[in-house]
Amino acid sequence: MNELPTKREPGDPEVNKIPTWRELADRFRDLMKDFLKEGKELERDIEPKLLPALKRLKLEIEKLIGKLEERTRPPKSQG
């Protein structure tokens, strides 16, 4: 009723194996490839939805920049 789990063998290669730098680099490279691939897929999915909004935002920013530039110009002297 009160049994403890059996003890693992000390020679289990998967648990006690320390990866080499090359293996770690390979794992990291594979993770980065997957990350970039998923990022590109996400970009393809989101772009059609965001592009119109980003274009409107760009126009609004350009309008604001134009208004600020008009404020900073010295008034033309009439004379």
What does the pLDDT look like over 16-67, one tens digit per residue?
788 999 999 999 999 999 999 999 999 999 999 999 999 999 999 999 999 9
Q: What pTM value is reported for the model?
A: 0.46
69 pLDDT higher than 60: yes
Distance CA 10, CA 17 (A): 11
Evaluate whether residue 13 is within a structural domain. no
Q: List the domain range (segments joined by +) for residue 58.
A: 20-72
Evaluate whether residue 58 is within a structural domain. yes
76 pLDDT higher than 60: yes
Evaluate whether residue 12 is within a structural domain. no
pLDDT of residue 24: 95
Evaluate whether residue 29 is within a structural domain. yes
Evaluate whether residue 44 is within a structural domain. yes
Tally of structural domains, the chain: 1
